[in-house]
C-alpha cells in the first residue's frame, strides 16, 4: 500500500448552534477550511468521503455542492460515533491503493435540534426496551471498575477535570473553561456514579482533513509538513459469552493490535492520544484495553497526572469529547485534525512537546449481547 | 379476565415469570434472547424449542438511572444480572430495593414481573428483585 499523508485540516467550532446553522453550513465550513489549509482548490480533490449519523440520505452530496465539489465521487459513511474515522479509513484505503491521489474527508453532525435526553441504541434492541442508555452502560462499567480495582469516584472524575483543563487552549472546543473536581463529583447525577460532567454533551460541528499520496503532493506542489496515516484499524464487537469482566475491553485490544501491527509500532511508541472519552470511565478502560496503561491502573494514573499535558502520555490535549463536544459523526475527523496539528507543531497552548506519533480511538454504537459495534484506531506519525 | 400479557412472549412468560432462551444443540451454548442462528457456531435455531432460564441471579453491576429519554419515568435501577447456572449475563431492571443501599454488587436476586414504562400499557415485562440472603423461592 502507498503511503498516505494528511496535508491539511479544518474545523467548524463545536457547540450548540441555531437552526440556520445547518448540517450543510457546518460541513461546508470545515471542508473549505481544510482545503484552504492544505492549499488546494476543489478541482484538485479526486474524491470526497463524508461521515455522519443523523444527516439523512446523501448529506455528503448536499455539502459538496456548496463548495464546488459536485460531480466528484462522493460517499457517505455511518458507523455511529466512529463514522468520521470510518470515512477516513475508506479514503485512506482508496489513496493507498492508488484509486485516487487526493481525497477530502468530512465528519459532520447537527444534533441539537434532533436529539433530546441522550443518544440510545436502536429501539428494536432488547436492552433498549429495558431502559438502556449509553450513560447507564458506562455507569455499570464504572461501578464494576471501582469494585474490582479499588478506584475512587474522584479518580474517575479526574478525567473530566483534566480534559476541561486542556480545552482552555482549544479554540474549536465547545467548552473552554476549567472545572474543579468538586464540580464534577457534585454535578447533577445522570446514572450513578456518573453525573453531568462525566458525560460528553450533545453538540453540532464539523471537522475535515485533506489526505494525499506522495504523487498527489507532487502534482499539487505541496511541500509542507505532512504526517503519515500509518494505520487505520477497524474492528467490530464480538458476541459476549460467559461471566467475564465487562471492563476487559477485548474490542479495544483487538482494534489497537490491528493498528499497531499495520503501523509496525507498539503502544510504547505513542506520544499523544486522542481518546473517545464519551464518558470519563470510558477513557480509562479504553486506554487500558489499548495497552497504553496497565490494567486497573488507569484511574490512579489519571489522578497522578500521567495523562495530563506535561505528563508521560498526554491524552486528549484537545479537551476530548467531554470538552470539545461530541457531534457524533464529526468526532473521528476532529481527532485527526488534532493529531495533525500536534504532529506539525501547530497546537498552540496545548502542544505536546516532541510529539512524533499519535493514536486516535473512536468507539461507535452498541449491539445487545456484544462488546461494541465499531471501533477505529488511527495511528499518525510525523 | 385474561392473564396479563408479556411485552414479548418470545422472550418472557408471565406465569410463573420465566425468561425464554435457546440452547444450541450443536455447541451447547445458551443464548438469550433467542436467535435464529447460534451466535457462536451459526447453527440454525429456528426449530429448536425454548429453554427456560433459572429465575435466580446475582447482581454483577448496577446503576440508578436519573435521566432518561422522554416517556421513561426516572429514577430506575438497571443491572447486569448473572445467572450462574447458565453462565449467562443479562441486562435487567432491578425492583424493590427502595432506598438504595451503598453497594448491591453480589446481591442475590430473583425474576419477577414488572409494569411497563407507559402506564396505559397493561402488558408486563421482567425485572429482578432482592431475595433474602440464602433463601430460595
Ligand atoms: Zn452453537
Per-residue confidence band for A147, with pLDDT thresholds at 50, 70 and 90: very high
Residue A266 at interface with chain B, using a CB cutoff of 8 Å = no
* Res B118: pLDDT: 86
What confidence tens digit (pLDDT) does each residue in B47-100 have?
999 999 999 999 999 999 998 877 788 899 999 999 999 999 999 999 987 666
Instruction: Give the residue numbers spanning the domain of B36.
Output: 9-53
Asked if the Cβ–Cβ distance from B66 to A129 is below 8 Å, we say no
* Res A118: pLDDT: 60
Mutate to test the interface with A, among B33, B71, B91, B99 (most CBs of A within 10 A): B91
The verdict on residue A121 lying in a domain is no
Q: What distance in angstroms lies between residue B34's CA and the mean position of ligand 1's atoms?
A: 12
Per-residue confidence band for A39, with pLDDT thresholds at 50, 70 and 90: very high
What confidence tens digit (pLDDT) does each residue in A63-121 have?
999 999 999 999 999 999 999 999 999 999 999 999 999 999 999 999 988 766 566 65
Q: What distance in Å separates the CA atoms of residue B95 and residue B127, rounded to the nearest whole number? A: 7
Closest by CA to A14, choosing from A254, A152, A201, is A201
Q: What distance in angstroms lies between residue A129's CA and the mean position of ligand 1's atoms?
A: 26
The verdict on residue B18 lying in a domain is yes
Within A168-249, where are the H helices? 181-185, 214-219
Averaged pLDDT for residues B119-127: 92
Per-residue confidence band for A126, with pLDDT thresholds at 50, 70 and 90: confident
A189 and A256 share one domain? yes
Asked if the Cβ–Cβ distance from A140 to B62 is below 8 Å, we say yes
Contact indicator for A147, A156 with CB cutoff of 8 Å: no
Give one DSSP letter per residue of A252-275, joined into a string: HHHHHHHHHHHHT--GGG--EEE-
Residue B37 at interface with chain A, using a CB cutoff of 8 Å = no
Total structural domains within chain A: 2
- Among B3-7, B18-22, B114-118, name the most confident range: B18-22
A328's torsion region: left (phi>0), alpha (psi -120 to 50) or beta?
A: alpha
Chain B, nearest residue to A191 by Cα: B65
B101 and B82 share one domain? yes
Mutate to test the interface with A, among B24, B39, B59, B68 (most CBs of A within 10 A): B68
Across the interface, of B39, B68, B92, the residue whose CB is closest to A133 is: B68
Closest by CA to A241, choosing from B54, B20, B27, is B27
* Res A117: pLDDT: 58
Residue B79 at interface with chain A, using a CB cutoff of 8 Å = yes
Closest by CA to A276, choosing from A305, A252, A308, is A252
pLDDT surpassing 90 at residue A298: yes
Between chain A and chain B, how many beta carbons pairs sit less than 8 Å apart?
98
Asked if the Cβ–Cβ distance from A192 to B63 is below 8 Å, we say yes
B70 and B131 share one domain? yes
pLDDT surpassing 70 at residue A10: yes
Q: What distance in angstroms lies between residue B16's CA and the mean position of ligand 1's atoms?
A: 28
The verdict on residue B1 lying in a domain is no
Per-residue confidence band for A144, with pLDDT thresholds at 50, 70 and 90: very high
CB count within 10 Å of CB B23 equals: 17
B44 and B59 share one domain? no
B79 and B42 share one domain? no
Averaged pLDDT for residues A186-206: 97
* Res B59: pLDDT: 97
- Residue A246: list chain B partners with CB under 8 A: 60-61, 80
Instruction: Give the residue numbers spanning the domain of A282.
Output: 126-200+231-381
The verdict on residue A339 lying in a domain is yes
Percent of chain A with pLDDT over 90: 91
Distance from the Cα of A335 to chain B's closest Cα (Å) equals 28
* Res A20: pLDDT: 95
Catalytic residues of A: 81, 326
Residue B4 at interface with chain A, using a CB cutoff of 8 Å = no
C-alpha triplet A381, A362, A89: angle, nearest 5°: 60
The verdict on residue B4 lying in a domain is no
The end-to-end CA distance of chain B, in Å, is 27
Closest by CA to A66, choosing from A32, A28, A106, is A28
Q: What is the CATH number of the domain that holds A277?
A: 3.40.47.10
Per-residue confidence band for B134, with pLDDT thresholds at 50, 70 and 90: very low
Averaged pLDDT for residues A351-362: 98
Total structural domains within chain B: 2
Asked if the Cβ–Cβ distance from B78 to A192 is below 8 Å, we say no
What confidence tens digit (pLDDT) does each residue in A250-280 have?
999 999 999 999 999 999 999 999 999 999 9
Averaged pLDDT for residues A320-341: 98
Mutate to test the interface with B, among A130, A366, A370 (most CBs of B within 10 A): A130
B61 and B116 share one domain? yes
B65 and B45 share one domain? no
- Residue B64: list chain A partners with CB under 8 A: 189, 191-192
- Residue A242: list chain B partners with CB under 8 A: 87, 89
pLDDT surpassing 80 at residue A247: yes
A358 and A250 share one domain? yes
Closest by CA to A329, choosing from A51, A29, A11, is A51
B48 and B58 share one domain? no
- Burial (Cβ within 10 Å: 0-12, 13-18, ≥19) of residue A43: exposed
Residue A242 at interface with chain B, using a CB cutoff of 8 Å = yes
- Residue A147: list chain B partners with CB under 8 A: 61, 103, 105
B64 and B49 share one domain? no
Residue B30 at interface with chain A, using a CB cutoff of 8 Å = no
Asked if the Cβ–Cβ distance from A136 to B70 is below 8 Å, we say no
A377 and A309 share one domain? yes
Within chain A, where are the H helices? 23-38, 59-64, 83-97, 126-129, 134-149, 153-167, 181-185, 214-219, 250-263, 280-289, 298-303, 320-324, 328-343
Asked if the Cβ–Cβ distance from A190 to B91 is below 8 Å, we say no
Contact indicator for A347, A329 with CB cutoff of 8 Å: no
Asked if the Cβ–Cβ distance from B61 to A132 is below 8 Å, we say no
Per-residue confidence band for A130, with pLDDT thresholds at 50, 70 and 90: confident
Q: B2 Cβ partners below 8 Å, 6+ apart?
A: none
Residue B82 at interface with chain A, using a CB cutoff of 8 Å = yes
Per-residue confidence band for B136, with pLDDT thresholds at 50, 70 and 90: very low
Could you report the predicted ipTM of this complex, rounded to two decimals?
0.92
Amino acid at each position: 500500500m502507498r503511503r498516505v499523508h494528511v496535508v491539511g485540516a479544518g474545523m467548524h467550532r463545536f457547540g450548540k448552534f441555531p437552526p440556520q446553522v445547518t448540517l450543510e453550513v457546518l460541513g461546508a465550513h470545515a471542508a473549505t477550511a481544510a482545503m484552504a489549509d492544505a492549499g488546494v482548490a476543489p478541482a484538485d480533490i479526486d474524491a470526497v468521503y463524508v461521515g455522519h449519523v443523523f444527516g439523512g440520505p446523501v448529506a455528503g452530496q448536499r455539502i459538496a455542492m456548496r463548495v464546488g465539489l459536485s460531480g466528484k465521487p462522493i460517499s457517505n459513511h455511518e458507523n455511529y460515533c466512529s463514522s468520521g474515522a470510518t470515512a477516513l479509513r475508506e479514503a485512506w484505503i482508496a489513496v493507498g491503493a492508488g484509486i485516487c491521489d487526493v481525497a477530502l474527508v468530512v465528519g459532520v453532525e447537527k444534533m441539537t435540534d434532533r436529539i433530546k435526553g441522550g443518544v440510545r441504541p436502536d429501539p428494536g434492541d432488547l436492552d433498549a426496551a429495558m431502559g438502556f442508555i449509553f450513560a447507564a452502560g458506562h455507569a455499570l462499567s464504572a461501578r464494576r471498575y471501582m469494585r474490582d480495582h479499588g478506584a475512587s469516584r474522584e479518580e474517575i472524575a479526574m478525567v473530566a477535570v483534566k480534559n476541561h483543563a486542556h480545552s482552555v487552549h482549544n479554540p474549536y472546543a465547545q467548552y473552554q473553561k476549567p472545572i474543579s473536581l468538586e464540580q464534577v463529583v457534585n454535578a447533577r447525577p445522570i446514572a450513578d456514579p456518573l453525573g453531568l460532567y462525566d458525560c460528553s454533551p450533545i453538540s453540532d460541528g464539523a471537522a475535515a482533513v485533506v489526505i494525499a499520496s506522495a504523487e498527489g503532493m507532487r502534482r499539487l506542489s505541496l511541500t509542507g509538513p505532512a504526517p503519515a496515516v500509518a494505520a487505520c484499524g477497524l474492528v467490530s464487537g464480538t458476541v459476549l459469552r460467559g461471566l467475564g469482566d465487562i471492563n476487559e475491553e477485548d474490542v479495544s485490544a483487538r482494534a489497537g493490535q490491528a493498528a499497531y501491527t499495520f503501523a509496525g509500532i507498539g503502544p510504547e511508541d505513542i506520544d499523544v492520544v486522542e481518546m473517545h472519552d464519551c464518558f470519563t470511565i470510558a477513557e480509562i478502560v479504553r486506554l487500558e484495553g489499548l495497552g497504553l496503561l496497565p490494567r486497573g491502573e488507569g484511574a490512579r494514573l489519571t489522578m497522578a497526572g500521567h495523562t495530563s499535558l506535561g505528563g508521560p502520555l498526554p491524552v486528549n490535549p484537545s479537551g476530548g469529547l467531554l470538552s470539545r463536544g461530541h457531534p457524533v459523526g464529526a468526532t473521528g475527523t476532529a481527532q485527526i485534525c488534532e493529531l495533525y496539528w500536534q504532529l506539525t507543531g501547530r497546537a498552540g497552548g496545548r502542544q505536546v512537546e516532541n510529539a512524533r506519533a499519535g493514536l486516535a480511538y473512536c468507539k461507535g454504537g452498541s449491539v445487545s449481547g456484544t462488546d461494541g459495534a465499531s471501533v477505529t484506531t488511527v495511528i499518525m506519525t510525523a | 379476565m385474561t392473564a396479563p400479557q408479556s411485552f414479548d412472549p418470545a422472550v418472557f412468560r408471565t406465569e410463573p415469570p420465566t425468561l425464554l432462551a435457546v440452547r444450541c444443540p450443536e455447541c451447547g451454548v445458551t443464548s438469550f434472547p433467542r436467535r435464529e442462528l447460534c451466535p457462536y457456531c451459526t447453527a440454525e435455531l429456528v426449530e429448536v424449542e425454548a429453554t427456560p432460564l433459572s429465575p435466580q441471579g446475582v447482581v454483577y453491576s448496577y446503576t440508578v438511572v436519573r435521566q432518561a429519554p422522554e416517556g421513561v419515568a426516572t429514577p430506575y435501577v438497571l443491572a447486569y444480572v448473572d445467572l450462574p447456572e447458565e453462565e449467562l449475563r443479562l441486562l435487567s431492571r432491578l425492583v424493590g430495593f427502595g432506598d438504595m443501599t451503598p453497594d448491591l454488587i453480589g446481591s442475590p436476586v430473583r425474576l419477577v414481573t414488572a409494569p411497563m414504562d407507559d402506564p396505559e400499557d397493561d402488558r408486563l415485562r421482567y425485572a429482578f428483585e432482592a431475595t433474602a440472603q440464602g433463601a430460595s423461592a
